[in-house]
Amino acid sequence: MAAGKELEEIKQALKANRLFITVESGFQKMISANCPKDGAIATVHTTYTTRGAAGPEITGVRFRCTVCGHTFTPKLEEMVLR
């Protein structure tokens, strides 16, 4: 579950139409989520964008579980960086 700084980083990345953040060391962390059914890692399936004041913004991300194939749209707080 994302909270505090991580949640803020996820919000800012999506607002900038990105699905990753770059940390100080230069590595990139991808926005990810865990399957609500089995807790396995899910990968991005579809993104929903709208045009914001500064360009396109991601307003929703649909994920697909790599184990069971379940697709789901988590809340921001349910996304994680990995």
The rounded distance, in Å, linking the Cα atoms of 17 and 5 is: 18
Interacting residues with Zn ion (CB under 5 A): 35, 37-38, 40, 65, 67-68, 70
Taking the complex as a whole, how short is the minimal distance between the CB of residue 73 and Zn ion, in angstroms? 14
Taking the complex as a whole, how short is the minimal distance between the CB of residue 68 and Zn ion, in angstroms? 3
The rounded distance, in Å, linking the Cα atoms of 63 and 70 is: 8
Burial of 74 (0-12, 13-18, 19+ CB in 10 A): buried
Q: Which is nearer to Zn ion, 8 or 38 (CB)?
A: 38
Q: Which is nearer to Zn ion, 1 or 40 (CB)?
A: 40
Taking the complex as a whole, how short is the minimal distance between the CB of residue 27 and Zn ion, in angstroms? 27
